Chain A
């Protein structure tokens, strides 16, 4: 960060990042719009009362995609410098998946 004090290209650099952030913010709004749409679809399908076999997989996939948006865009996991967070989140998801899988399959059903 030493060149931050370098006054000659400060404004230029500043402007560059400001532009970049603005661009990013646009993506965030699109992300948000997509998330709202997904939520609407999920609620809509359930309200429409279509077959259970059809509804459940779809709303789960929608939830997973939505969470992906949340992680990669809102939480910036797609930006550089996030390789360790990504590794650990995916490891966590792996452990989480096994946990849910076990508790939904191999328990005694009453």
Chain B
């Protein structure tokens, strides 16, 4: 039975849900994302309640630069598509192509994270907008930082999966793992869509 699980030939067309363990992981992770929705909603709510409490600091409308945010958005949206490609090739049992697309996703993720670090650095140094400056700044960094931490965790997860499975093909044991990691990545993108809308765009509009 164990070798059955680790064999990478003759995979069913939905390898991520073909075993009971896979199906459990699939459902459990979706439910977890349901919980994450409330987690981010709490952070969004906190941010919205505090977004005008900037005291003597820079208000949101003068702080955000849309150019950088636009680039970051495009990068993260694209990485969402590349992880769709990775799962597409996983379902076709094409290990090499899956790894390639996952690699691209990870690279895009890192460039997003790099830009975010630069953005924070820029705010702190050029605007004096630190974590402890005002209630607004705390709420901003808590929300965007939580998202950033999710991105970082997702990258670590992808890398670990790729390293572990670099030499073996797709099988019924690792397919669910790849699948839920990509679900997580899409969810990160979902949250970002609201961040760029609610935080940045609405912040600029005022």
Residues of A near any B CB (own CB < 8 A): 1, 4-5, 17-18, 21, 24-25, 28-29, 32, 35-36, 39, 42-43, 46-47, 52, 55-56, 59-60, 62-63, 66-67, 70-71, 74-75, 81-82, 84-85, 88-89, 91-93, 95-97, 99-100, 102-104, 107, 110
Q: Chain A residues with Cβ under 8 A from B159's Cβ?
A: none
**Complex: how many Å from CA A87 to CA B196?**
26
Majority SS of interface residues in chain A? helix
Minimum CB distance partner of A84 in chain B? B27
- A32, A63, A99: the one contacting B194 at CB < 8 Å is A63
Would A62 and B197 be within 8 Å (CB), given that A46-B204, A81-B17, A103-B46 are in contact? yes
**Complex: how many Å from CA A46 to CA B187?**
25
Interface flags, B171-202, vs A, CB<8A=1, else 0: 00000000000010011011001101110011
Interface flags, B1-42, vs A, CB<8A=1, else 0: 000000000111110011000000001001101111110111
- Determine whether the beta carbon of B186 is less than 8 Å from that of A74: yes
Interface size of B as a range: 35 or more
- Determine whether the beta carbon of A56 is less than 8 Å from that of B205: yes
Interface flags, B43-54, vs A, CB<8A=1, else 0: 011101100010
- Determine whether the beta carbon of B10 is less than 8 Å from that of A100: no
- Determine whether the beta carbon of A42 is less than 8 Å from that of B34: no
Enumerate the 5 nearest inter-chain pairs by beta-carbon distance, A residue then B residue, closest first: A103-B45, A96-B41, A92-B34, A85-B30, A92-B37
CB distance from B205 to the nearest CB of A (A): 5
* 21 cross-chain CB contacts under 8 A: A18-B92, A25-B84, A28-B81, A39-B196, A42-B197, A60-B198, A62-B197, A66-B193, A70-B186, A74-B81, A81-B14, A84-B27, A84-B30, A85-B30, A88-B31, A92-B34, A93-B37, A100-B41, A104-B48, A104-B49, A107-B49
Would A36 and B74 be within 8 Å (CB), given that A4-B12, A74-B186, A84-B30 are in contact? yes
**Complex: how many Å from CA A107 to CA B206?**
20
Q: Chain A residues with Cβ under 8 A from B190's Cβ?
A: 67, 70-71
- Determine whether the beta carbon of B48 is less than 8 Å from that of A100: yes
- Add 9 more A-B contacts to A62-B197, A84-B31 (CB < 8 A): A29-B81, A36-B74, A42-B201, A43-B73, A56-B202, A70-B80, A103-B49, A104-B45, A104-B48
Would A63 and B193 be within 8 Å (CB), given that A95-B38, A103-B48 are in contact? yes
- A47, A55, A66, A110: the one contacting B66 at CB < 8 Å is A47
CB distance from A1 to the nearest CB of B (A): 4
Would A39 and B66 be within 8 Å (CB), given that A56-B202, A70-B190, A93-B37 are in contact? no
- B12, B41, B201: the one contacting A95 at CB < 8 Å is B41
Minimum CB distance partner of B42 in chain A? A99
Q: Chain A residues with Cβ under 8 A from B142's Cβ?
A: none
**Complex: how many Å from CA A43 to CA B67?**
10
